[in-house]
Structure 1
């Protein structure tokens, strides 16, 4: 336990059972620890419990319950909605719990609840293994996995939540249980895509996949060329090989030497093709896209999986202001493309982006009833991510993000990616999960967290007894 907190007598009951570090306002390090990735959320917890074990998490949960203090949980702190931190709450901080152990022969990993994706990749990739996960290495594993987990490997191997084989979970009453197919199987079902509603995961057991060097190719197009390029992308993406994952991004072009100077600092379309099969086959596999939609500039290379995972890190730094909206799309029709390109042209910040990709593949191979994750069959996901630095520009950037998704309403598939549900009413969460799945989740919540202790998330309230 950290000695600098010994004077805070109001927390003495927790201090006697806690082996980690307790921080209160005014303590050295408090301001650094309370900060999360999204700089929009500048909140001040009454206490930060920096846990070292599941026993620490249990002690903090029990203390909060006895003291009547609201609880938030910080894994990686990357959630765009800032749910890891709240004013006048107890933040249960897992960021010191980042251990990963790998069993290469069994292709399994055990990862603690505070791990970042980069921690997991660093442990698994030396063995030629990886767990499918997101595309920014400083994302927290727990938040991503509990809400789904799209990424480069999703079409080939499925979502991150599909790779949760078991979990150690601290429940809202402080008890510690193991969720697996043999113990608390209903809880394991909820952890696979139901969000952070049912308990605090302090350790994941994850299935790993064999992943080696990948072929990565990106092409850039002016907005004038983008509609034609996206028509080609649509055909290519909907027929791509399981070893291919092609994505699109609209953003302001940087000044890299492979990008034509005429596109520097201008909104542009980027198409990226990642080939997960034999690397030498990558150029030919990507040619069906880039030969038919010839880019103004392109870059082709081979990367390790860990290098691929870190490519997006510089574009989403800690401390900037972020606001994100997503939706699923039925199709990438020419009319939808016109609306998307208009949104790109109207972007308010040079740091913002629009991302979209064709999904399906192995995502749809998991039976719909086998996990809490909804909308597996959605064809496309579309995400508008505003990023800026000046608080005076909040309103304009938030409005741009909302408008970007709203103007595609005619092509909405329904629902949204739960990890990007940010400021909507509870009715949005119900819409995301659909009625039958939502009812099952509320029953699960009533079993494992009947008083809704874990409510600082995209919350599912417990079902009320009749």
Structure 2
């Protein structure tokens, strides 16, 4: 039976228009298709209304309207979440993408960033002062979703996760009230915002702790796929002994046409290893030689942190279709390596890839860090990412991604990274956080959103509604 949609509440809409300072975009408006679109082209959904907010009062007004009109709510920061949780049919989309100011205090080593900021906005403002907040690896990712789900990135082993650098936050609660979450005010809410998944409130301003960052030594090498097992044995030895100022990652993908890639490897599945060294740049070659001594080709660069952050931008463009599954691994021994290489032989498109990296370092230095983020002691993370453009390939590409992670089941550490969850079975979020963290988050949900208004993401359900 088809669910009946709530009729338009014209009185509530008139009240919203009277209070709202931003732009309200409706189906049929010239801008509607542009502003409703999210990064993952698989999610072509049509909201009831897009509320393009310019401040916390606009967010509060949109939440009050949704309650009065009987509409579900979604929240768009950068719109980059692979599961497309920023948009839903017939819901009110609270769109923060007009809110992108960043204010840096270089003396206090902090930055205030609006809830719609992209990582590139933060990097541009902070690196002008020789500072950075550890964040993700694609500059058009939204700061909000990344931070609220954790925040792995190039500096994670050196300084920790993005959520570990959240000092305070301006939060619009589900009932429209506005609070400041900090160590002095609503400290338990601040704990939940540090990696708890983001459905406790709408964050309209992040205050972030900054770190000094200088020139980065960056080195990449490519290996034929039949040499991947030996190269990954060396990677395992290298990565597990590396200094916290080093971050080494691997990718299995179809080699491109770059001049430093040998001609015989171009257009074929290959292994790419990359190391970023954040210590003295002059030490970079000696620090990384052991990882690349048998590479078929490679490239070495000195770059700014902002340039490093933008390296992944062109490989994940808006509008392509994406399906991602991920898992943590206990080890990168012969068994999982064999399965990774087999999945690479079966890449469903030239755009798809398998990424993996050794974690720990500063991420796990304080396993009791005051944050909701779980699984800090996970050794490796692996992401099997399908990317394609033809809707006719949806089923095959998604199946490859699922199968790629299922192959790794015997070596999985447990849990998952909440920002990569997609079409999961019931109970997966509880598994991700573990019983103690999940119950603590559920208690926060009971306090701050007992009606589960903010349910349009990987949801922590209130205890009263389970």
Q: How would you bin the TM-score normalised by the shorter chain?
A: over 0.9
Give how far 1:444 is off.
0.7
Matched, 1:257 2:292: no
* 1:140-289 paired onto structure 2 within 5 Å: 140-289=142-291
Give how far 1:426 is off.
3.1
Give how far 1:465 is off.
8.4
Give how far 1:404 is off.
0.3
In 2, Cα distance between equivalents of 1:368 and 1:21: 43
* SS of corresponding position for 2:427: helix
* 1:14-413 paired onto structure 2 within 5 Å: 14-291=16-293, 294-368=294-368, 370-413=370-413
In 2, Cα distance between equivalents of 1:223 and 1:13: 61
Give how far 1:9 is off.
7.3
In 2, Cα distance between equivalents of 1:381 and 1:393: 26
Give how far 1:369 is off.
5.7
Give how far 1:289 is off.
1.4
In 1, Cα distance between equivalents of 2:12 and 2:393: 40
In 2, Cα distance between equivalents of 1:14 and 1:281: 58
Give how far 1:10 is off.
6.7
Q: Is the 8 A contact 1:426 1:459 kept in 2?
A: no
* SS of corresponding position for 2:50: strand
In 1, Cα distance between equivalents of 2:188 and 2:362: 23
Give how far 1:103 is off.
0.5
In 1, Cα distance between equivalents of 2:355 and 2:102: 31
* SS of corresponding position for 1:280: helix
In 1, Cα distance between equivalents of 2:132 and 2:285: 23
In 1, Cα distance between equivalents of 2:366 and 2:310: 28
Instruction: Give the structure-2-normalised TM-score.
Output: 0.97
In 1, Cα distance between equivalents of 2:309 and 2:112: 20
In 2, Cα distance between equivalents of 1:352 and 1:123: 32
In 2, Cα distance between equivalents of 1:78 and 1:426: 23
In 2, Cα distance between equivalents of 1:347 and 1:9: 53
In 2, Cα distance between equivalents of 1:34 and 1:426: 27
Q: Is the 8 A contact 1:442 1:461 kept in 2?
A: yes
Q: Is the 8 A contact 2:367 2:377 kept in 1?
A: no
Look up the match of 1:428. 428
Give how far 1:105 is off.
1.2
In 1, Cα distance between equivalents of 2:193 and 2:174: 14
Q: Is the 8 A contact 2:222 2:270 kept in 1?
A: yes
Q: Is the 8 A contact 1:165 1:207 kept in 2?
A: yes
Q: Is the 8 A contact 1:237 1:246 kept in 2?
A: yes
Deviations 1:299-348 (A, max 9, x none): 00101000000000000000000000100000001111001000000110
Give how far 1:365 is off.
2.1
Deviations 1:207-253 (A, max 9, x none): 00101110000000010111000000000000001111000000000
